């Protein structure tokens, strides 16, 4: 709307920010490819708990594992988050709200027996996939020691 105040400093910035994907980001796709190739099956971009309007990037419903791959800018990565130069207070509040919601989501899921795994988009997909695989396999057979061979 012309003339209305905007969170974006320019129309180009607005277009760029609106183009950010909510799902199927490159880091998510890379992790999903590896996890799928290892034989694990999951749901994508779905609510772990139906009554909670929060979506996880990968969900393993049978073993109650919810995986979030958080963007460095949007979730305030301690290593890579950059402070906005324009509308700094708006973006600082937005990121703080996102972080608070992330904590709330994790707590609510854990109260319902879910294992919550959170990763940053900059983490190596193979390492993220390793952690996911270990967690899912452990939840399937909690008494088994992963990586050990029977005598």
- If pLDDT is split at 50, 70 and 90, which confidence band does 89 have? confident
How far apart are alpha carbons 151 and 138 in whole angstroms? 20
Q: Give, in order, the Cα–Cα distances in Å from 133 to each of 27, 63, 66, 80, 151.
A: 16, 12, 12, 26, 24
Give tens-digit pLDDT for 129-146.
Answer: 999 999 999 999 877 555
The pTM of this model reads 0.80
pLDDT value of position 150: 46
- If pLDDT is split at 50, 70 and 90, which confidence band does 73 have? confident
How far apart are alpha carbons 126 and 34 in whole angstroms? 7
Give tens-digit pLDDT for 23-50.
Answer: 789 999 999 999 999 999 999 999 999 9
CA dihedral 147, 128, 110, 80 (to 10 degrees): 150
How far apart are alpha carbons 15 and 18 in whole angstroms? 5
Question: 90, 141 in Cβ contact below 8 A?
Answer: no
How far apart are alpha carbons 13 and 43 in whole angstroms? 32
Give tens-digit pLDDT for 105-131.
Answer: 999 999 999 999 999 999 999 999 999
Strands (E), 71-151: 115-120
């Amino acid at each position: 709307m012309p003339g209305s105040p905007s969170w974006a400093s320019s129309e180009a910035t607005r277009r760029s920010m609106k183009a950010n994907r909510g799902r199927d980001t490159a880091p998510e796709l890379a992790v999903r490819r590896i996890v799928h190739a290892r034989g694990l099956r999951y749901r994508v971009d779905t609510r772990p708990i139906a009554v909670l309007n929060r979506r996880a990037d990968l969900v393993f419903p049978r073993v109650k594992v919810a995986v979030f791959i958080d963007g460095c800018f949007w979730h305030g990565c301690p290593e890579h988050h950059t402070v906005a130069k324009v509308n700094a207070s708006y973006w600082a509040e937005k990121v703080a709200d996102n972080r608070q919601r992330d904590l709330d989501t994790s707590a609510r899921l854990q109260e319902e027996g879910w294992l919550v795994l959170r990763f940053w988009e900059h983490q190596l997909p193979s390492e993220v996939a390793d952690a996911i695989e270990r967690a899912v396999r452990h939840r399937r057979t909690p008494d088994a020691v992963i990586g050990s061979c029977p005598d």
